[in-house]
Amino acid sequence: MGIEQTMFAGRFGQYVRDRHEPRAAQDSAEIPYPLSQETRDIITHHLIPLGLLARADGDIATAEQKAMCDHAVAMLAKSGHPVKDADVGKLKDYIAGFRPSLMQLDPALHRIEREDTDTKIAFLGAARAVVMADGRVDAAEARLLDELKLEFAKA
What pLDDT digit, counting tens, does each position of 42-93 carry? 999 999 999 998 888 777 889 999 999 999 999 999 999 999 999 999 999 9
Separation CA 54–CA 67 (nearest Å): 10
Report pLDDT for 89. Answer: 94
Q: How many helices (H) and strands (E) does the chain have?
A: 7, 0
- Res. 104: pLDDT tops 90: yes
37: confidence class by pLDDT, cuts 50, 70, 90: very high
> pTM for the full model?
0.85
pLDDT at 148: 76
Q: For 108-120, what is the mean pLDDT?
A: 92
The pLDDT assigned to 1 comes to: 43
